[in-house]
Every structure is written in structure tokens, then in C-alpha cells.
Structure 1
Amino acid sequence: MKTLSTLTFANSYCDLPDTLGTRITPQPLDNPFLVHFNPLVAEKIELTSITALDPSFVDVFSGNATLVGLSPLAMKYCGHQFGQYNPDLGDGRGLLLGEVITSNSIKWDLHLKGSGKTPYSRTGDGRAVLRSSIREYLASVAMEGLGIATTHALAIIGSETPVAREKIETAATLIRVTESHLRFGHFEYLFYSGQHAELQQLADYVIEHHFAELATTDSPYAEMFKQICHRTAIMIAAWQAVGFAHGVMNTDNMSILGLTFDYGPFGFLDDYDPHYICNHSDYSGRYAFDQQPSIALWNLSALGYALTPLLDKTEIDHGLEHYQHQLQQQYSHNMRQKLGLTLTNDVDSVLFSDLFQLLQQHHVDYSLFFRTLSYITMTDLPHSCSLFSELFPCTSDLKKWLDRYQQRLLLEPNDNQRLAVMQQHNPKYILRNYLAQQAIEKAQQGDYKLIDQLMTVLARPFDEHKHAEVFAQLPPHWGKHLEISCSS
């Protein structure tokens, strides 16, 4: 483990064409202080946790000091926002500080979100607020705990710097750690601006640093695109199975590594509603929960089009077909695990669809239903309706489905491990919006204990945590109707 000053740094992104970014230093925050530090993320970059107690840590990540070896850069990209192409995008509130190289040669980006104005800020102030920083901080922990590919957050730095959103709030910076900050929008920028030689350089960079095994294949660019499609399918299938809605699936928010990226107005399902819209600003429902699989395909098609200088139509179509096939396979696999099924049977698709219809019709809490089901033995299923009384106003329809589920389980070769499997794929704890809101309100008063408590359960959401039952309860009525916007 190392201190901040003894980490090994690199700046490989700076070796790419200058058109892909602008060197710039962060703008200092007023009277910065540490809000929270994640030791599990520190371990990823081999940073000792005691570093968080060093005043220089706060100074560096609030823009009040520099660190030798880092070369901050605001990245330039573009993208399709709500289906419309926007050429004027880039790191408007963040900077890629540099890369940490671990002792086993793994490269991690260090990114500062909320670092002040850049050439890509447009009319924005380049700041992030404490509210949005806490939401992303907790969300990255929650997603990793659920086993879903995500960016990570090392720490939150608070300040007294005022910023104007719907009201006056205080600025904060989030230290994001991830394998890469490259987005679909990087390739779109180079394609639409006619920089095709640079586009090939970027593709070569991606292959070298992230898909090295593809370099010696007959068609490395086609294989790169297929790999991006594959990883995106795995991510989307995981989102759908766990009930996660991203909220702003613009192409500039899509990671080339299939990471859950740029947390904004995200939300986990409370009552099961396939049409759930978590973004208050998404008036058309383009990014509703049930639209995410098709939107990911749309985004991959946009990426494929941006790669036409390197790929032919057949190669693009093959990658998109792979996405659809992999998504279907992975989602089916994930849902079978949630129901404890190991075999595939013709009755399964109807069993699944009828369950979703049941949950939607009765406004049943998605996560709590599956978690409750994961503790009921096969012999107890016919008599288990009372266990769902808090979730169902009437259990007669549920009883019919449970009888069918029991009959389906009789087709399984061995039921002994079913409940253990289900309990490891149906979380007890998810980051509900009202929990995040409560943590934000406490933090705005200088109390960070709720962040501590949520971090503990979200990091291990499938475990039983003593004294944490309050975080696994049904949300209050007001908690189901919070409006979350893109404002950060």
C-alpha cells in the first residue's frame, strides 16, 4: 500500500491527438474538507486508507494543490442526447487527472468530477454539488455490491463554495476511479468531425490498453466492436434483472467497457412498473426502465455508424446481432437465478411473463418480492401467501402463481441449493431514492453517519446485517414519488 505521493502515475491519454482534449488545471474550492472516503476503492489503486487523513489529500482533490506526475485533461467528445446529435459536448465539469499504475500493471483512471469550468462547460459553472456527488458515491458502491460493472468513487470532498441550481447549494468534488473514461461519444466526435485517421488511432489505443488479446486477430476493429456489444449486453441484462434504471442513456454516457457510467437521475424500482421513468426531465419516456435494452441497441448502432471508416456493414450488423443474442441469453440466465431454476423449460417464458404481470397489476415491490420468495422451501410454497401480506393487498392471484412455480420446481433435478442461490441473486438492500435523499439531507447538516451505514449494507447487499433492517423495509409513500432531475 502506498501514499498519494508514492503512487505510480501515467498519462497515456495525453499521447492521443490533441483534438481529444484540453490540458487544464482544476479550479480551487473554498475551505474544502473530506466528506467521505472509500477504503475498498483505495485498495484497488493500492492507496493506504490513512492517506485520507493527510491534509494534502483534500488539497489535491479540491484543486488547491497539484500532484507531481498528473497531467489534468478535460476530454472532448460528443454524442446523441435524447436521440439528437450534439457536437458541443465534453468534460464540462470534470477532469481526467491521470492514471494510477498498480504493481500488477493495472491502469486506473483518476477523474475529478466538479473541478470547475473547462472549454466544454458551455453555459455551466463546471461544478458538482454535494447532493449529486453523494448519489453517485453511494450508487457506485451499490452497483459493485450487486456484481454489476461500474465506475467507482474514492472520496467526496465538500466545500463552502456556493453554486446555483434550483436553489443555492454547496459545491463538491467526486474522485472517480475506473478502468477507462472513454465513451461511445469519443468515436462519434472523431467521425462526425471528419478526423478518421485520429479515429483509427483511438481504436488502436482502446485495443492496446483494454482489448490486447484482439490485436492479433484477423479483424481487430470488428472484434473490438463485438466486445463492446458483448459487455453492453451483460450490463443491460444486469440492470433489468435487478431493477435499475439509469435515466440518461445518451451515447456520451455509454462506456466502451460496458461500465455503468455517469450516474445522474438513476433509480431502482420500488413497485414493479416496467414503464418507470426515473428522470424528471425525460418527458417522452425515452429512457424508461423497459426501454433500456432497445436504447442500448440504438446507441450501439450509433457507435457502429461512427466506426464505418474501420468496419463494413456486415461487421457492424454482426456485432449488433451479438448484442441482442447475448442480452437475451444473459437476462434469461439472471432471471433463472432469481427464481432458483437451473434447467430451461418451455413453460418458463409464460411463468416469467405472468409473474411480471402479477407484480405490475398489484403494484408489488420488486426487490422485496424476490427476497421473500428466496426463503420459502418448495414444500412450504402452497401455504406461504401470508408471508407476502405486506406486499399484496390480495393474495388469491399470487396463490395461483405460487402453485405453478412449485410445479415447475418439481422438474428440477435437485432443490437442495435453490434457496442459497436465490439469496445470492436477490438483494435484501438496494439504494432506494428515499434512502439516498435521507443521506443527502443529513450530510448537508454535517452528519455523515447515514452514508457510513448505507455503505456497509450496499457493499454486501445479499447478506443479513444486524441492526440494519430499516434499510430493507418498504419505502414510505413519499419515498416512491421523489422527482430526480439531471441537475448536478
Structure 2
Amino acid sequence: MTVHFPFQNSYSALPDSFFARVAPTPVAAPRLIKLNRPLAVQLGLDPDLLETPEGAEILAGKTVPDGADPIAMAYAGHQFGQFVPQLGDGRAILLGEVIDRDGVRRDIQLKGSGPTPFSRRGDGRAALGPVLREYIVSEAMYALGIPTTRSLAAVVTGEHVIRETALPGAVLTRVAASHIRVGTFQFFAVRRDTDAIRRLADHVIARHYPELLGTERPYHALLAGVVARQAELVARWLLVGFIHGVMNTDNSSISGETIDYGPCAFMDAYNPAQVFSSIDEMGRYAYANQPRIALWNLTRLAECLLPLFGEEQEKAVEQAQDILGAFPETFSKAYQAGLRKKVGLFTERDGDEALIQDLLDAMAKNQADFTLTFRRLGDAAGDPAADDARAEFMDPAAFDEWARRWRERLAAEPQSAAERQSAMNAVNPLFIPRNHRVEAVIQAAVNDDNYAPFEELVKVLAKPYEDQPDYAAYADPPLPDQRVLQTFCGT
């Protein structure tokens, strides 16, 4: 049998200005190193066939499967606040779309598949390290319950790419609800192509917001829908200590998924100003800045949609501002509700927000580990004698003072201690992609062609909320000499 992809392509049926038709560049000797078998089944694909040499050639871009209509998508974007009128897929090619088993249309894209007309003098390739990082973190985000693109496969190409040095080349197969970004709208807005903006908006509504079809003001409702999804998404990031690292408008998904895992990272010690990205020298995309930047990006989307709001410019601006004005409340509501759950509060009372903020302030002052502090709070909620959370603080007395007030507040909750602990453990992960663990996995693969650490890490991260005694060490924060202080963009 041959590998079959049930492609039903819609984006490539849009006008030619939306993309460039380009085939992947063949590679020398593709070798599959990881296939996400459950995801393959969800997509209606045969994992056994994908694991054959023929499957590896398709997943590396050496062979284009029947029904594919490979394109590189056009988009623009603000990168660290500076507008670039043409970016586009410089090292990624969309093979096509499939309808998964839940009836959801999904893009199947190859990252690192060779140069495109948007490559801007780049080689269009990807190194093994960034491919493994995206596979690990995107699948961890999925297991955490956060909307995200997925990773179907990772393949080494048998070739090297030149960055600071020669590195093994690789291709990632990425799956997304779509790859349409704020920057996709900006591409046409800067060219004053209102017809294309309307065509794109109609496509997005039909694909991602079908409930808006036939409404009186669909484009206003589209902006409101994207605002709501982005607000809730960023709240979820903050609740697990995730830092995207490069929240440019071309990395802001219209579908509300997390997209583009370049210099991303999870915090160890809680620090609202934490930055890992080596290219974020001014801290624009620091942990606590992410809600503000998300709103900034959404404002750029609103500017693109203004011509669709009506001919009266002043009125259109007012309407857009009203819609954008919902972001702070939507974000705050999602974030505060999530924080209450993290500390075991399942009713809402005056003073809760201040109580939780006091904990965060004490964590920052005492360099408490973000993930373990909240996880250990669950233990403390189940057993008043448990003091693991206390041990996360340099000054345990700071925790004691807060814990006294916290227990007084818990006494007003209806749950039993066991119920509360179970509920807290369901929202406070024990296992996250610790930066030092990800780096160790990458080094083993790049330097020794050893993928056993990668496989084990992926296995552990697939169950982030479960106690896994055999892998307890994966929950540990880094030792001082293991700390990763910077992460790097995959390009």
C-alpha cells in the first residue's frame, strides 16, 4: 500500500496573491526519528505506512503525496514593533489540509523543507535542535490543555545546515487549525487591497468562526472572536509559566492557537520580568508583558479590518476600540479564575485577588519555583502537615504568614481536603518542559545521534498532571550549573 493523505484544500483555492506555489526541496537521506502515532490516527492517516521509508520521504519533503497542493503562505508582520511589509513562509511549505476525525480542518505543513520566494536569502532549512524543541514544547502544551499547533513527525534529512557551525538538518511536520496570522491580514492592508482583506476575513469566518456566518456585522464579530480567544490563550500561558519569547504579529494566530515555538521557555523561579529569548534585548515579550503585547497585536488586526467596518472612518475606529476594550476584562476574568483554581478556591470572594497576588509577590521575592510551588500547595491543601511548598521559599516564614491566611480562606470552601487536592492537581502540572531538560535532550540528539532522552522526555510530558514516581526527577528545577539563561530562535 501507499501512503494516502485525504487532502481537501481550501487555502490554495484563494487568489494567487495569498501564497506562492512551491514544492519542497528534496533531501539526501531522510530518516524518521519520531512519529506522533495518536495524532496520525486523529488525522485519518495510517501510522504504520507513515513509518515506512516512503512515509519518511513524504515527511521530509522528498516526495510530494498525491492530492497535495504545496504553497508558501504570504504574510507581513511587526517584529519587535518594527513593521516588515513582506515576510511569508521562508522555510515552511503547506502541503494541504485534511479533515480530522472530529470534522476539524487541519493544515499539514513541513518546516525546514527548503527555500521559498519568501526566504529572504535564507536556506529554508531547519536544524535538528529547533525541530526537537518545537516537537517537545508543542506536544507538552497540548497535554497541558492549552490551544496549540501540534507536531506530527520529526525527520532528519541526512544533510547539514550551516548556522554558527554545521548542524544536522531536520524537518518538522506541523499540524494547525490554520496558519493564518495577524500578519496575513497586514500583508494585504499595507497594499490597500480591501478585496483581499474581505476574502481573507470571509475565509477565516467560514473556517474558524462559522457561527458568525449570516450575522449582521460579521467582521466586527470576527474581531471580537479573535480578541476573546487571544485573551484566554495568553491567560493560559501565564497560568503555567510559559513565555512565548517572540510575540510578533506574524506569530499571532487568528485561530487562537499557540504558534511558532522559537525562543520559548517555561519559568523555573517565578519572576514577572523573566526573559529568555536571546533576541529580546529590551524585554518586550517578558512573561508579564504578554497580555499587553497580545492587545497591541490585536490592535494591529483591528486596523486591518477597519475598511470592512464601514465607510465612516471615525465610526469604524470607535467600533474597533469598543471591541478591543473587552480584552482586559476577558483576560483578567480567565487569569483570575485560573489562579483561584491553582490555590484551591472554587468560589469567588472579595479579597481573593489580593490574597493570590500576595503569594505571587512572596514567590518572586523568594525565588520560589513557579510550577512546584503551586503543585505543592495541592499537597498542603490535602494534608496540613505537608511542608513541601514551604521549602520552595528562601525565607519559609514568608510562606507561613501567607499560608495562615490561605487556610482561613479555605475553611470557607465547601470541598473536602481530598477533593480540593485532586482538583488542584488537575490544574497544577508537576511536569513541564524544563529548559535544562530540553537542552540536554537536544545535545544528546545533535552530538550523539541518541534519541532515547528525547523519547523519554516526550513520554513524561504527555502526562503533566499525573504523579510519575519512576520519572520524579523530571519535576526537579535545575541546579545552579544547569540553568538555561537564554533560548534562541530556530531560524
TM-score bin (small chain)? over 0.9
Q: Which residue of 1 aligns with 2:461?
A: 458
Counterpart-to-counterpart distance in 1, 2:484 and 2:25: 36
Structure 1 unmatched ranges of 5 or more: none
Paired residue type of 2:414: P
Contact 1:77-1:252 at 8 Å conserved across structures: yes
1:378-397 alignment runs, 5 A limit: 380-381=383-384, 383-385=385-387, 387-388=388-389, 390-397=391-398
- Secondary structure (helix, strand or coil) at the match of 1:332 reads helix
Q: Which residue of 1 aligns with 2:89?
A: 91
Q: Which residue of 2 aligns with 1:402?
A: 403
Contact 1:39-1:49 at 8 Å conserved across structures: yes
Q: Which residue of 1 aligns with 2:413?
A: 412
Shift of 1:160: 2.5
Shift of 1:88: 2.4
- Secondary structure (helix, strand or coil) at the match of 1:232 reads helix
Contact 2:30-2:57 at 8 Å conserved across structures: yes
2:336 is the counterpart of 1:332: yes
Contact 1:235-1:258 at 8 Å conserved across structures: yes
- Secondary structure (helix, strand or coil) at the match of 1:10 reads coil
Normalised by the length of structure 2, the TM-score is 0.95
Q: Tell which deviates more after alignment, 158-167 or 98-107.
A: 98-107
From 248, 251, 256, give the equivalent of 2:249.
251
- Secondary structure (helix, strand or coil) at the match of 1:9 reads coil
From 436, 439, 448, give the equivalent of 1:437.
439
From 369, 376, 381, give the equivalent of 2:373.
369
Counterpart-to-counterpart distance in 2, 1:413 and 1:225: 39
CA deviations over 1:448-486 (Å, ceiling 9, x no partner): 111221112211100112311110112122332342122
Q: Which residue of 2 aligns with 1:470?
A: 473
Contact 1:165-1:487 at 8 Å conserved across structures: no
Counterpart-to-counterpart distance in 2, 1:374 and 1:284: 36
From 103, 111, 114, give the equivalent of 2:112.
114
- Secondary structure (helix, strand or coil) at the match of 1:112 reads strand
Shift of 1:390: 4.2
Contact 2:49-2:55 at 8 Å conserved across structures: yes
2:347 is the counterpart of 1:347: no
- Secondary structure (helix, strand or coil) at the match of 1:99 reads strand
Q: Tell which deviates more after alignment, 211-220 or 97-106.
A: 97-106
From 425, 428, 453, give the equivalent of 1:426.
428
- Secondary structure (helix, strand or coil) at the match of 1:90 reads coil
- Secondary structure (helix, strand or coil) at the match of 1:310 reads helix
Counterpart-to-counterpart distance in 2, 1:14 and 1:46: 21
**1:4–1:397: structure 2 CA closer, same or farther, 3 Å change rule?**
farther
Shift of 1:104: 5.3
Q: Tell which deviates more after alignment, 457-466 or 238-247.
A: 457-466
Paired residue type of 1:27: T
Q: Tell which deviates more after alignment, 61-70 or 179-188.
A: 61-70
Paired residue type of 1:255: S
Paired residue type of 1:303: L
CA deviations over 1:119-169 (Å, ceiling 9, x no partner): 111021111110000000001111011110000010001022111112211
Counterpart-to-counterpart distance in 1, 2:396 and 2:451: 41
Shift of 1:103: 5.4
**1:426–1:223: structure 2 CA closer, same or farther, 3 Å change rule?**
same
Contact 2:380-2:389 at 8 Å conserved across structures: no
Structure 2 unmatched ranges of 5 or more: 310-315
- Secondary structure (helix, strand or coil) at the match of 2:483 reads helix
Contact 1:442-1:448 at 8 Å conserved across structures: yes
Contact 1:98-1:111 at 8 Å conserved across structures: yes
Shift of 1:106: 2.5
Normalised by the length of structure 1, the TM-score is 0.96
Counterpart-to-counterpart distance in 2, 1:436 and 1:103: 31
Contact 2:374-2:389 at 8 Å conserved across structures: no
Q: Which residue of 2 aligns with 1:17?
A: 15
Counterpart-to-counterpart distance in 1, 2:359 and 2:70: 50
Counterpart-to-counterpart distance in 1, 2:475 and 2:100: 37
Contact 1:434-1:482 at 8 Å conserved across structures: no
Q: Which residue of 1 aligns with 2:312?
A: none
- Secondary structure (helix, strand or coil) at the match of 1:373 reads helix
From 155, 163, 176, give the equivalent of 1:178.
176
- The RMSD of aligned alpha carbons is 1.5
Q: Which residue of 2 aligns with 1:132?
A: 130
Shift of 1:391: 1.9
Counterpart-to-counterpart distance in 2, 1:5 and 1:48: 7
Counterpart-to-counterpart distance in 2, 1:377 and 1:255: 38
Paired residue type of 2:336: S
Shift of 1:53: 2.3
Q: Which residue of 1 aligns with 2:5?
A: 7
Contact 2:3-2:46 at 8 Å conserved across structures: no
Q: Tell which deviates more after alignment, 342-351 or 121-130.
A: 342-351
